[in-house]
Amino acid sequence: MKRTIIKIDEEKCNGCGQCVTGCHEGALQLIDGKARMVSELFCDGLGACIGECPVEAIELEEREAEPYSETAVMERIATKGEKTILAHLRHLKEHGETGYLQEGVKYLQEHNIPVDLSSIRNKPTAAMMQAHGHHQGCPGSKSFAFAGTETKTIQGDTASQLRQWPVQLHLLNPHAGYFQGADVLLAADCAAFAAGNFHSAYLKNKVLAIACPKLDDGKDSYIAKLTAMINESNINTLTVVRMEVPCCGGLTQLAQIALQQAERKVPLKEIILNVQGEQLTERWI
C-alpha cells in the first residue's frame, strides 16, 4: 500500500544516533555507522525522528510500504519500560492519532501492563504547544488535530473552522486519525481566497485537503491518497469545492477516479465557484 514513511539520506547521515533515540517505535537502528530503517511495520510516518536529526538527513515521502501496526509496536516496546511506552503514547496524542492511542491503551489493559496514564490524559496537544511557540520536527508536515473547533466570533469575524494540520494533499497522511469517519472537503487552492465565507459555508465540520489540478505534480499520489481515505479511513462523504475555470475540473476528476478505484463508495458532491467567490452550482455526482 502507499503511505507516508520516512526516507534517510545516507550520504548526509553522520551516524549520531539521535533519530534512533527519538523513534520510540523501534523502526530505526544504527547499522554500519548509519541510521537505517529496520522495519516499515514500526514506522508510523509521523516524523518524530526528523526533528532529532541535526544534519537534515531524514524526510517524509509517499511510497509503497508495509502498513503500520500499533499492536506490533506495543509488543515490541512493552518490555522496554514505562518511560518508553509513555513517550510513544504521547507521540500519538500530540499528532492527533486517537485511534492508534486507544489501540495502544487497549493493548496495555488486555495484557495487564501497569502504566500510569495520567500524564497522557493531562498532556497538552500539539496545537496547544504550537500556540505557546513550541514545536518538534518539521512544522510544515507535522500532523495534528485541533481542539475546540467550534465557531467563535472575534471582533465581528468568524474564527477559523480548520480542524487539522497539514492541509496540502501531498503532505497529508490519509490514515491520520482525524480522517476516520470524517466528512472531507477537497478544495482548490484558490477557493478560500475567492470565497469570503469559505470557512463558514464550506469548511465547517469537515477535514480539509487542498490541491491544484493544473500546477501540482503527482496526480497518481493524490488519487492513491483519496482512495486510501475512502477504503481504509472510512471517510463519510467527499465534497469538492473548485473554481469555474476549466482546468479546475481536474480536481473533480481526481475524486471520481479515486471513487472508481475504491472498494467502497461514498457520496461525492461538487460545488463550483466563480472567480469572485460566488457559488454557481452544487450537485451530488
pLDDT band at 131 (very low <50, low <70, confident <90, very high): very low
Question: Residue 41 pLDDT more than 90?
Answer: no
Could you tell me which residue, 251 or 142, shows the higher pLDDT?
A: 251
What one-character DSSP code corresponds to residue 203? I
Average pLDDT over residues 112-138: 59
| Residues sharing a CB contact under 8 Å with residue 72, sequence separation 6 or more, in sequence order | 41, 42
User: Rounded mean pLDDT of the chain?
Assistant: 85
What pLDDT shows up at residue 108? 93
Q: Round to whole Å and give the CA distance between 151 and 265.
A: 30
Report the share of the chain in percent with pLDDT over 90: 50
Sign, CA dihedral 40-41-45-49, equals negative
Q: Cell numbers for 162, please give them.
A: 480548520
Q: Round to whole Å and give the CA distance between 89 and 24.
A: 9
Residue 44 sits at φ, ψ, to 5 deg, of -85, -5
Residue 137 sits at φ, ψ, to 5 deg, of 75, -165
Q: Return the minimum-mean-pLDDT range out of 70-74, 144-148, 175-179.
A: 144-148
What pLDDT shows up at residue 15? 94
pLDDT band at 236 (very low <50, low <70, confident <90, very high): very high
- pLDDT tens track for 144-155: 666 554 444 444
pTM for the model:
0.60
Q: Return the minimum-mean-pLDDT range out of 2-6, 142-146, 208-212, 255-259.
A: 142-146
What pLDDT shows up at residue 120? 80
Q: Cell numbers for 170, please give them.
A: 501531498
- pLDDT tens track for 44-65: 888 888 888 999 999 988 888 8
Average pLDDT over residues 149-174: 74
pLDDT band at 127 (very low <50, low <70, confident <90, very high): very low
Q: Return the minimum-mean-pLDDT range out of 17-31, 45-59, 90-104.
A: 90-104
Q: Is 103 exposed, middle or buried (0-12, 13-18, 19+ CB in 10 A)?
A: middle
- The answer to whether residues 237 and 183 touch, using CB atoms and an 8 Å cutoff, is yes
- The answer to whether residues 90 and 48 touch, using CB atoms and an 8 Å cutoff, is no
What pLDDT shows up at residue 122? 61
Q: Mapping DSSP to helix (H, G, I), strand (E, B) and coil, where does residue 60 land? A: strand
Q: Round to whole Å and give the CA distance between 198 and 161.
A: 9
Average pLDDT over residues 193-209: 96
Could you tell me which residue, 95 or 225, shows the higher pLDDT?
A: 225
Could you tell me which residue, 129 or 73, shows the higher pLDDT?
A: 73
The single-letter code of the amino acid at 58 is: I
Question: Residue 140 pLDDT more than 70?
Answer: no
Average pLDDT over residues 77-101: 84
Measured between alpha carbons, how far apart are the two ends of the chain, in Å?
27
- The answer to whether residues 62 and 15 touch, using CB atoms and an 8 Å cutoff, is no
What pLDDT shows up at residue 79? 87
Question: Residue 133 pLDDT more than 60?
Answer: no
Average pLDDT over residues 205-211: 96
